């Protein structure tokens, strides 16, 4: 799969030129000249790399970086900056950017930076999959070793919290299909979770477990940063 690259530069001609240049280099490139539009795209589409200008009106690269990492903490960001703002670019690296490149630049300068970004993104996603596999294994062990549904449900809640990066997780059980859900396990500050059951927009993040031992379970997470893989 081609790496997905999000380019943001308030100078539309520069942004369009980058998109034309980098697409033949093996990237699926989407460009925006308005940072807020880039964030909206990031909310609905997966991207691997963010390549953004540092100095932009309305929302600068630092603000965009912070907002983007709140949406996807594993996004790899590269800042584009002029010689006079190198210090600010270094500040961007302190809050999560992988690297920066000086403008104006040529293709030979950006190729190795993007290649490194692709490698870092792949490693981050591999690490997520490894953590998910470990969680799956631990939940499977809990089910295999215990006939106590409370023990199993507690481990499900632990695994959901680890996978989602959420602030809190609650697990609800329907004892029989179509029955009302009841709260059986929480992790973190889940005081507000019962209110979610009455909300039309409070759809489940994932069907965590659907088995005879524990029934149908819905996992709902607060401030989740990534979807939970179904177990």
CATH number of the domain that residue 187 is part of: 3.30.450.40
Same domain, 111 and 161: no
Here the CATH number for the domain that contains residue 22 is 3.40.50.2300
E-assigned strand segments in 96-157: 99-102
Q: How far apart are the first and last CA of the chain?
A: 25
Same domain, 78 and 20: yes
- Count of domains observed in the chain: 2
Task: Calculate helix-pair angle for 12-22, 107-145, nearest 10 degrees.
Answer: 70
Report the C-alpha gap between 1 and 44 in whole angstroms: 19
DSSP letter assigned to residue 54 = S
pLDDT digits (tens, 9 = 90+) for 118-131: 999 888 777 666 56
Residue 125 zone, left/alpha/beta (φ > 0; ψ -120 to 50; rest): alpha
In a domain, 33, yes or no: yes
Average pLDDT over residues 154-163: 72
Listed residue (217, 46, 195, 196) closest to 143, CA to CA: 217
Same domain, 158 and 205: yes
Confidence of residue 17 (pLDDT cuts 50, 70, 90): very high
Same domain, 82 and 153: no
Same domain, 121 and 13: yes
Query: Which token pair is 212?
Result: 């005879």
Same domain, 81 and 13: yes
**Is 169:157 a contact under the CB 8 Å cutoff?**
yes
In a domain, 72, yes or no: yes
Residue 91: CB atoms within 10 A of its CB come to 15
Q: At 34, which helix (H) or strand (E)?
A: none
Average pLDDT over residues 8-36: 93
Same domain, 50 and 154: no
Range of the domain at 60: 4-126
In a domain, 141, yes or no: no
pLDDT digits (tens, 9 = 90+) for 55-78: 898 898 999 999 999 898 889 999
pLDDT digits (tens, 9 = 90+) for 80-119: 988 667 788 788 888 888 888 888 888 888 999 999 999 9
Same domain, 119 and 155: no
Query: Which token pair is 146?
Result: 């215990």
Same domain, 78 and 108: yes
In a domain, 140, yes or no: no
Same domain, 99 and 22: yes
């Amino acid at each position: 799969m081609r790496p997905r690259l999000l380019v943001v530069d308030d100078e539309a001609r520069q942004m369009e030129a980058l998109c034309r240049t980098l697409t033949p280099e093996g990237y699926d490139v989407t460009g925006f000249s308005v940072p807020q539009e880039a964030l909206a795209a990031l909310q609905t589409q997966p991207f691997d790399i963010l390549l953004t200008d540092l100095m932009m009106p309305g929302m600068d690269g630092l603000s965009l970086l912070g907002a983007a990492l709140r949406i996807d903490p594993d996004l790899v960001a590269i800042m584009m900056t002029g010689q006079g703002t190198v210090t600010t670019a270094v500040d961007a690296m302190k809050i999560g950017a992988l690297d920066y490149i000086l403008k104006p630049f040529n293709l030979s300068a950006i190729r190795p930076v993007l290649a490194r970004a692709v490698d870092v993104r792949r490693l981050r996603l591999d690490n997520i999959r490894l953590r998910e596999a470990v969680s799956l294994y631990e939940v499977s062990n809990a089910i295999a070793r215990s006939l106590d549904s409370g023990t199993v449900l507690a481990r499900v809640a632990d695994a959901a919290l680890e996978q989602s990066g959420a602030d809190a997780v609650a697990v609800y059980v329907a004892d029989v299909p179509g029955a009302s859900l009841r709260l059986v396990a929480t992790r973190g500050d889940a005081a507000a979770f019962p209110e979610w059951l009455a909300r039309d927009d409070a759809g489940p993040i994932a069907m965590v477990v659907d088995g005879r031992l524990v029934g149908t379970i819905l996992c709902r997470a607060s401030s989740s940063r990534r979807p939970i893989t179904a177990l």
